[in-house]
Amino acid sequence: MSDSPDSSPTESVTFNVRDGVAWLGFNRPQSRNAMTWEMYSALEHYCDVLADDDDVHALVLHGVGGEAFVAGTDITQFAGFSKPEDAIGYERRIDQVVGKLERFPKPTLALIEGACVGGGAAIALVCDFRYATSSMKFGVPIAKTLGNTLSISNVSRLIDMLGVARTKEVLMMARLVNGEEAHAAGLVNGLFDAATIHDDVAMLAADFAKRAPLTLQASKALINRALEQRRLDAGASDDWITTCYMSRDFAAAVDKFVNKTAFAWTGR
């Protein structure tokens, strides 16, 4: 693969390779880089393409525009959900894409500016390293926004990174974690100034070219094996996925976003 920009499967994702580092940008700044189905497919595509590319030794994921990494999945895409299979299929699809990124055999770095929520939080969690500016807001505020739920796999990832107490704050209180707090908690590996973070992360990513490739792959694979032994089967959350996504509350929350209608939570 050359160092010139590659042809992306969608204009909503940018891609190029510089000095052996692949840069993948989520490119919907007008929507705070909220993910569409084709953006999830593009992420999966590049994980497949780059896995065996000897000219690439690291992958950096970032948001375009400086205001957000990824502000979740685009809510308009939930408007057609009408049966349990829609909800379970969506969570399985997210697990598939996020899982592929988690298993990507080379170092992955998330460069986080601004909102990193919902699907964006899931993507950032499975990167090997996270670097952010103080503007970062990390969380899963679905208790305020949609009334849905995460899959058991993504709940497990939150617990692994944040611990039980903070995971409850993030999910149940819809609390967003800022950059300084995330750094103190070990969620973020380093904080950088907005003016320099792209150069700083580029230097960190370039350093992986000096590391033993097999040791990097082995370390990542073995850590993932240990984590997988602690996780439940994907179906362990299907009952609550169905309950939340098929609820009147979820339908009303999506309608509020799409059509600007008012609603109040009912618990049904």
| Residue-wise pLDDT tens digits, 164-211 | 999 999 999 999 999 999 999 999 999 999 999 999 999 999 999 999
Q: What is the pLDDT of residue 2?
A: 39
Q: What is the pLDDT of residue 1?
A: 41
Please give the residue that has the higher pLDDT: either 259 or 1: 259
Domains assigned to the chain = 13-259 (3.90.226.10)
Give the end-to-end CA distance of the chain in Å, rounded to a whole number.
51
* Residues 131, 77: Cα–Cα separation, whole Å: 29
**Long-range contacts: 83-89, Cβ < 8 Å, 24+?**
83/246, 84/241, 84/242, 84/245, 84/246, 86/245, 87/148, 87/241, 87/242, 87/244, 87/245, 87/246, 88/238, 88/241, 88/242
* Residues 249, 5: Cα–Cα separation, whole Å: 43
C-alpha of 25 from chain center: 12
Q: What is the pLDDT of residue 10?
A: 86
| Residue-wise pLDDT tens digits, 237-261 | 999 999 999 999 999 999 999 999 9
Helix (H) or strand (E) holding 36: none
Q: What is the pLDDT of residue 7?
A: 56
Q: What is the pLDDT of residue 9?
A: 79
Residues across the chain? 268
CB count in 10 Å sphere of residue 235? 12
Note the pTM of the prediction, 2 decimals.
Answer: 0.95
Whether residue 18 is predicted with pLDDT greater than 80 in this model: the reply is yes
CB count in 10 Å sphere of residue 185? 14
| Residue-wise pLDDT tens digits, 44-101 | 999 999 999 999 999 999 999 999 999 999 999 898 999 999 999 999 999 999 999 9
Whether residue 135 is predicted with pLDDT greater than 50 in this model: the reply is yes
Q: What is the pLDDT of residue 237?
A: 97
Q: What is the pLDDT of residue 14?
A: 97
Sign of CA dihedral 52, 54, 56, 59: positive
| Residue-wise pLDDT tens digits, 138-151 | 999 999 999 999 99
Work out the average pLDDT over 93-117: 98
Query: Residue written as tokens 């990193």?
Result: 116
Q: What is the pLDDT of residue 109?
A: 99
